[in-house]
Amino acid sequence: MRAFEQFPRSGRPLMVKKFGGTSVADVERIRKVARLALESQRAGNDVVVVVSAMSGETNRLLGLAHQMLSRPDARELDVIAATGEQVSTALTSMAIQSEGGQSCSFLGHQLPLRTDSAFTRARIHQVEQERIRKALARGQIAVVAGFQGVDSDDNITTLGRGGSDTTAVALAAALGADVCEIYTDVEGVYTVDPRVCASGRKLKSIPYEEMLELASLGAKVLQVRSVEIAMKYEVPVHVRSTFSEEEGTWVVSREKTFESRVLAGLACERNQARVEISGIEHHPGRVAELMELLAQMNTSVDLLRHCREDVHASLAFTLAEEELLRARPSLEQLVERMGASRVHVSAGLAKVSLVGIGIRSDPWIAARVCRSLARHGIGVSDLAVNELRISGLVEGNHADEALRILHEAFLLAPTDAAEPSAAYAEGGLQ
């Protein structure tokens, strides 16, 4: 995303408030969103509201598309998917007016919010802000459709699942907002999904880097691209509940966090597939061929492993099952060209990850992960470790249990600020 052109500020604090699908699920909830926006404006703030489609609407629209074609064209998918936000944006603007306020709605192409042409997963290049600035100067609340933009050929594009988060943070960065508030159906960022593990604890704050890891590893509270933009432009992000007045979790720079923690939390990516290609000729360019093919399809992989076996080699990697479905025809052509002797695909897996500071430098953490799961008969494979996280694959039907086991083993230690090797090795690895 290119650097944003800065326009003069009004002198009033500026807040961007994003509301997810559950927050605008019906007319009454949309009225609540309108009241929250007006309350903030009447307190002396300029307010920009970003909304997702009403809960379940995007799935309904995509379902219609797949009834028409088993593999719909990505451009047409974006055309139909973007209509969900068009409805909720207009309704939210009307709700603000019904509550005595002034508002103006904007769709992605009306700003415009410029993106590349990677349909269904576009990346933002530029946010035009003149129309929003003018609306705010007129005393209006600007209501913007999340999730959507427009490419250089004026095609409608969408930003991928959770893309309204990215719209909101990009707007906050472009407008120089004082804060971007992400309203959702949970009260903040937790050490683990509280719907899976009841002992999950809400964090008061979390650094951008650790939130980025959690988001990239399956935590659904924020889209990963939104965290990247927030970190790059130092946008303070406040994740909170639409249905509670309690303060949520602040995503900020490390020096502004309120508490010192060794470990931030656990995340899980479900519906993962592992692909292993064996018996290919050993050649330095084989990995490059694979990565270039996946890049052409805008597909990312993880846990990539390249092993040499005499004159032959093997490649293994993981990716989402839906990505495998899309990439499979091209992968089969590549495998045939490589002359592989065997291709093995394992589906129904989950990638479980522990995120924190200095994980690679403390060998007790990896040992504790493996031992804790082994005690409960859960095998873990394809471990990958860096300074901020350790990830491994488990069978999908063991994912929830693995999260609960690891949460108890690590995040419920008496003091989170203790040295990991001391806190986690206490009592030995029995």
The structure tokens listed for 1 are 């995303």
- Binding residue per annotation — 190? yes
Find tokens 């300029």 and name the residue.
46
Q: Which amino acid is at 59?
A: N
- Binding residue per annotation — 119? no
Exposed/middle/buried for 335, CB within 10 Å: 0-12, 13-18, 19+? middle
Residue 202 main-chain phi, psi, to 5 deg: -75, 135
Among residues 147, 161, 131, which one has the least CA distance to residue 48? 131
- Binding residue per annotation — 243? no
Strand, helix or coil at 198?
coil
The secondary structure of residue 202, as a DSSP letter, is: B
CB atoms under 10 Å from CB of 102, counted, come to 14
Among residues 262, 334, 264, 343, which one has the least CA distance to residue 297? 334
CB 159 within 8 A of CB 85: no
- Binding residue per annotation — 193? no
Among residues 307, 421, 317, which one has the least CA distance to residue 361? 421
Among residues 121, 265, 251, 232, which one has the least CA distance to residue 184? 251
- Binding residue per annotation — 58? yes
Q: Which H or E element spans position 334?
A: helix 321-338
The secondary structure of residue 388, as a DSSP letter, is: S
- Binding residue per annotation — 204? no
- Binding residue per annotation — 89? no
- Binding residue per annotation — 221? yes
Give the chain's count of helices (H) and strands (E). 13, 18
d(CA 72, CA 133): 38
- Binding residue per annotation — 235? no
d(CA 429, CA 417): 21
- Binding residue per annotation — 85? yes
Over 249-312, what HEC string results?
A: EEEECHHHCCCCCCEEEEEEEEEEEEEEEEEEECCCHHHHHHHHHHHHCCCCCEEEEEEEECCE
- Binding residue per annotation — 19? yes
Separation in Å, CA 412 to CA 117, 191, 262, 366, 418:
45, 10, 12, 17, 12
Binding residue positions for substrate: 58, 85
Binding residue positions: 18-21, 58, 85, 184-185, 190, 195, 220-221
Binding residue positions for ATP: 18-21, 184-185, 190, 195, 220-221
